[in-house]
Amino acid sequence: MTARHLSVLLALALISPVPAQELRGHGGPVRAVAVSADGRFAMTGSFDQSAMLWNLADGTADAVLRFHQGAVNAVVVIPGLGFATGAEDGRIALWRGNAAEPVRVLQGHKGPVAALAVSADGGMLASASWDETVRVTTLGDGTARVLEGHRGPVNGVAFLPGGGIVSAGYDATLRIWPADAGAERIVTLPAPLNGVVVAPDGEIAVAAADGRLRLFGPDGESRAEIEIGQTPLIALALSADGATIAAGGLRGQVALVDRKARSIRATLVGPGLPVWSLAFLPDGRQLLSGGTDRLVRRWNALTGEHVGTVVPRAGPDVLAAFQGERGAQVFRACAACHTLTPSDGNRAGPTLHGLFGRKIASAPGYAYSDAFKAMDIVWTKETVAKLFEIGPSAYTPGTKMPEQTIGSAEDRQALVDWLEKVTH
């Protein structure tokens, strides 16, 4: 990925305002997504500098994690722990459950972290960076081996079955690093490389800026080339069984590739394209995408059909009971993160039960941001309406609530009237 491409897409995302009913999570394009091995949780990273933890079974957002100072470019599952995020700020954060702070932070990169990978036993974390290096960190003792050789940003990294590492760079090279300290094997390709994955049998798949997916043997011998589209491939994922590769391009083409047959089985058809990130659910039958439209979507990984957004149910029937009410409809944009009753508890955001008349940052048991705790606001219909008229980042600077506004004064009024009714 070039800085230019990033900024072009980022600019596109910023100038196209998203209607309120679609703001169900991140405040910016979803740059990275990973799914836990049991399929119950997903973590996403965004250009809005936050990571979010989603409960896929319940369709709720469990946490908004604000730690990084820059886009969260990469997310990976750490077996036995949780997830790791890698960001533009050069840092890698390790997260356990929905704790508000990382359990550990790995520093060392001098440029943005673009990709992360974990060894099969979960003991080692590899990170690819725009500082032109790959770091392979032994999580047990924190020591890192630094792989130097790329002449440009490194955009992808993966482990090979024997413990070796493969990295893909903007310098159009694929580099295969032996598990011990030996020199790397270099494979030079016709275009810059944006991502790499490795199948359980050791086959390497590389996403390139010429829109082609290329397959190599574990030693770097070329095996196949599949044209996905004309524009750079920016998202790449592999199903757990290694059978299917998903590759997405800058113009919105996303192909599901049958790896053994070397052919495109289906292309995604539906809303929310182009995507920045892709991840299969463990059974390989569904795929998640993170989009420029800020949403996380589910797809049928066999047919390419859109299944729906990973959203937000407000808890059983809370919204169903208010069918047809505008305020309840507007609240759909909030339901992933907020409940309305004390018994449903806090999610990514605090419960809104008892909101009106309550001082900011006073819901019991919720870990508010420091910015929120330092403010002196009492929530009334007027202040809540104002919050979404000018947006959280203007009204409550430093908040971890993703940026969103509700453009229509009638919708804001409907929302606060309805909230008053249902939060006490």
Give contact residues for ligand HEC (rule: CB under 6 A).
Answer: 24-25, 61, 64, 333-334, 336-338, 348-350, 355, 360-361, 363, 368-369, 371-372, 379, 384, 388, 399-402
207 vs 416, beta carbon nearer ligand HEC: 416
Q: Among residues 1 and 384, whose Cβ is nearest to ligand HEC?
A: 384
Given the complex with ligand HEC, which of 259 and 400 has the nearer CB atom? Answer: 400
Q: Measuring CA to CA, which residue among 95, 25, 18 is closest to residue 54?
A: 25
Sign of CA dihedral 391, 275, 87, 311: positive
CB of 276 to ligand HEC, least distance (A): 17
Nearest approach in angstroms of CB 416 to ligand HEC is: 8
For residue 87, the minimal CB distance to ligand HEC (Å) is: 18
25 and 33 Cβ atoms separated by less than 8 Å: no
Q: C-alpha 107: how far from its chain's center?
A: 21
285/359 with CB nearer ligand HEC: 359
Min CB(282)–ligand HEC separation in Å: 25
CA 162 to CA 198: how far, in whole Å? Answer: 12
Least Å distance between CB 337 and ligand HEC? 3
Query: Which amino acid, residue 45?
Result: G
Give the list of residues 6+ apart from residue 67 with CB closer than 8 angstroms, or none.
51, 85, 93, 101, 102, 105
Please state, in angstroms and as integers, the Cα–Cα distance from residue 393 to each residue in 13, 24, 138, 166, 358, following that order.
17, 16, 38, 40, 20
Q: Min. distance of Cβ 308 from ligand HEC in angstroms?
A: 17
Q: Which is nearer to ligand HEC, 227 or 410 (CB)?
A: 410
| N-terminal to C-terminal alpha carbon distance within the chain | 49
Which conformational region is residue 58 in: left (phi greater than 0), alpha (psi within -120 to 50 degrees), or beta? alpha
Q: Which is nearer to ligand HEC, 62 or 184 (CB)?
A: 62
Q: Which is nearer to ligand HEC, 214 or 332 (CB)?
A: 332
Quote the least distance from Cβ 11 to ligand HEC, whole Å.
23
Site of tokens 């990514």 = 348
Q: 82 or 327: whose CB is closer to ligand HEC? A: 327
Nearer to ligand HEC, 95 or 368 (CB): 368
Q: Please check whether residue 31 is in contact with residue 45, taking contact to mean a CB–CB distance below 8 angstroms.
A: yes
Residue 412 CA from chain centroid, whole number: 29
- Pairs from 315-320 (Cβ < 8 Å, separation ≥ 24): 315/339, 315/340, 315/341, 315/344, 318/344, 318/422
**Residue 76: burial class (beta carbons within 10 Å; 0-12, 13-18, 19+):** buried
Q: Cβ 272 to ligand HEC, closest distance in Å?
A: 17
